[in-house]
Structure 1
Amino acid sequence: MASLRPIQSVLSFLTVIPAGRGDFDIRYVAKHMYLFPVAGALVGLIAGGMAFGISPFLPPLLVGLLVAGALVILTGVHHTDALADFADGLMAKGDKEKKKKAMMDPAVGSAGVAALVMYFAGMIIVFNTGFPGIKILTSIIAAEVIAKYVMVLLTYRGMSAWEGFSSPFTAEMKDGKKMLAATGIMLPVVWFSAGFAGMAALGVSIALGALMRHAAKRSFGGISGDVLGASNEVARLASLMTLSTVML
């Protein structure tokens, strides 16, 4: 259906989920970036449903490993790879051009490896706190929606460091009405799935997103596709950590 095409476009862009026929133009996806939280809700429902189903039978650390693996598979590894690239670029010595070169190098450097190890360790350990019952499902949904919202917020507030993957998104998301729409989609889902804890997770993730945007501006002159992808991973983990703490 034509009415579902915008949602199909963001799903096909953000996940490996078959979403309609054909490839979607990047500018068409960027035009509908405000729907990213919808994709986050679906990814969260799938990963969270799996976690809820296996958590009564498996140790929490193993649940964390499987959830982290499922999210990497569902999102096609793109955001995880972006986290490593962002870390390499951020830690590279030299001017902006050298940092850009380090970020775009297909080989993962030591900073990228360290970031990935810390990320996956965090994703596994956070589940050891033991999200009780249905909270494991609702927390993952909230975390995924927040993670996608942070990406939208970064494109609304930031400028592209160079002409590239992020450029269509930063151009399209300067529309305040689209930002309001993304917020209107995100807030009810986070509130009904996690309540006040979800609001706390949102606040922490937005703060970290602002910090990443500031660091990217200083290091690269603005945001890039890797910065956006990295913000997704950081916001997801930060949300889960906050939710696991507040819900105890």
Structure 2
Amino acid sequence: MIARNMHLFPLAGMAIGLIAGGIGLGLSEAGADPLVVALLVVAVIAVITGIHHTDGLADFADGMMAGGDKERKISAMRDSSVGSAGVTAVVLYIVGMVVALSLAGGTELLKAVLFAEVAAKLSMVLMAWRGRTAAPGSGSPFVSAMKGGRRAAFAVIISAIPLVILGGWAGLAVLSTGVISSVILVSLSSRSFGGITGDVMGAANELTRLASVLVFVSI
């Protein structure tokens, strides 16, 4: 059911972004310290999303850094224990998110969170559309459901509308970040694992979110 409606993921991103960004906006307007606000926003996002995408980032990093052939890399990615690469990736991601979000305040913080969530969800949709399954697993139904360009095009349209209307060139830059991130990660994953997995899509969500916030606060 969820896989068949994957093209609607950007709408879920909008909801998450509005909730987390709205909390950040309220705290920012109340005069809370920017670093504290950023940390709480990251915590809210983690609670809402269940942290399973962050776990995917850790597994993806372990797989990418593992030596050997594709099968060994996939095995490392599926290992239930988290390696040093995974721990490092998660720490850098959280620190990066907190620092980047602390550079925005008020309505700009709301936009940063909202736009990043939409772009993050769009990147997963585009990965499932363009990628192929590396191995049977949780990501396989999503890849199968997204074959054909109509659903992917719909996801791009519903992502572009709020980003361009509310953000102008900044929103367009964040949208482009989501597209570019998906292309890069599909290429990396195809070379390393022979395709994409659920962990790869989870990692794409986190990495695209961070990249989008960094792009937004840099403009």
Runs of 4 or more consecutive aligned structure 1 residues displaced over 2 Å after TM superposition: none
Contact 2:62–2:76 (CA under 8 A) maintained in structure 1: yes
Of the structure 1 ranges 38-47 and 200-209, higher mean CA displacement relative to structure 2 is found in 200-209
- Aligned with residue 94 of structure 2, among 110, 117, 120: 120
**Structure 1 position 193, deviation (Å):** 2.7
The residue number in structure 2 matching 1:60 is 34
TM-score, length of structure 2 as denominator length: 0.96
Does 1:213 pair with 2:186?
Answer: yes
Q: Does 1:33 align with 2:12?
A: no
SS in 2 for 1:156: helix
Shift of 1:128: 2.7
Letter of the structure 2 residue corresponding to residue 218 of structure 1: R
1:195 CA displacement: 1.6
- Displacement after TM superposition at 1:198 (Å): 1.3
| Separation in 2, partners of 1:224, 1:67 | 28
Is 2:146 aligned against 1:173?
Answer: yes
In the other structure, the counterpart of 2:24 is: 51
Q: What one-letter code is carried by the residue in structure 1 that aligns with 2:159?
A: M
Residues 119 and 177 in structure 2, CA contact (< 8 A), matched pair in contact too: no
Q: Which of residues 186, 189, 214 in structure 1 aligns to 2:159?
A: 186
Q: TM-score, normalising length from structure 1? A: 0.85
Q: Following TM superposition, by how much is the alpha carbon of 1:73 offset from its aligned partner in structure 2, in angstroms?
A: 0.8
In the alignment, what sits opposite 2:121? Answer: 148
**Cα distance in structure 1, aligned partners of 2:101 and 2:154:** 32
Residue 90 (str. 1) matches residue 57 (str. 2):
no
Asked whether the equivalents of residues 142 and 193 of structure 1 are also in contact (C-alpha less than 8 Å), the reply is no
Q: Which of 197, 200, 205 matches 1:224?
A: 197
Secondary structure in structure 2 of the residue aligned to 1:55: helix
Higher relative contact order (CA 8 A, sep 6+): 2
- Distance, in Å, in 2 between the alignment partners of 1:167 and 1:124 is 32
One-letter code aligned to 2:85:
A
Deviation at 1:132, TM superposition (A): 3.9
**C-alpha distance in 2 between matches for 1:40 and 1:195:** 19
Q: For each residue in 1:194-225, what CA deviation from the matched residue of structure 2 results, as whole angstroms up to 9, or x when unmatched?
A: 22101112223322221111111111100000
One-letter amino acid matched to 1:95:
D
What stretches of structure 1 of length at least 5 have no aligned partner? 1-27
CA distance in 2, matches of 1:81, 1:109: 12
| 2:131–2:196 Cα contact (<8 Å) kept | yes
Q: Is the 8 A contact 1:161 1:224 kept in 2?
A: yes
C-alpha displacement of 1:126 = 0.5
**Long gaps (5+) in structure 2:** none
Say if 1:150 and 1:232, in contact at 8 Å, map to a contact too.
yes
Overall identity of the aligned pairs, in %: 45
CA-atom RMSD in angstroms: 1.0
Which residue of structure 1 aligns with residue 76 of structure 2? Answer: 102
Quick one: distance in 2 between partners of 1:193 and 1:111? 37
3-state DSSP class of the match of 1:151? helix
Aligned residues of 2:159 and 2:175 also touching (Cα < 8 A): no
> Which whole-Å deviations, capped at 9, do the CAs of 1:155-205 have from their partners, x for residues lacking one?
111001012111111111112111121112111011123221011122233
Residues 2-29 of structure 1: CA deviation (Å, up to 9, x unaligned): xxxxxxxxxxxxxxxxxxxxxxxxxx11
Matching residue of 2:170: 197
| Local SS of the residue matching 2:102 | helix
Query: Greater shift after overlay, 105-114 or 170-179?
Result: 170-179
Is the Cα contact below 8 Å between 1:31 and 1:169 reproduced in 2? yes
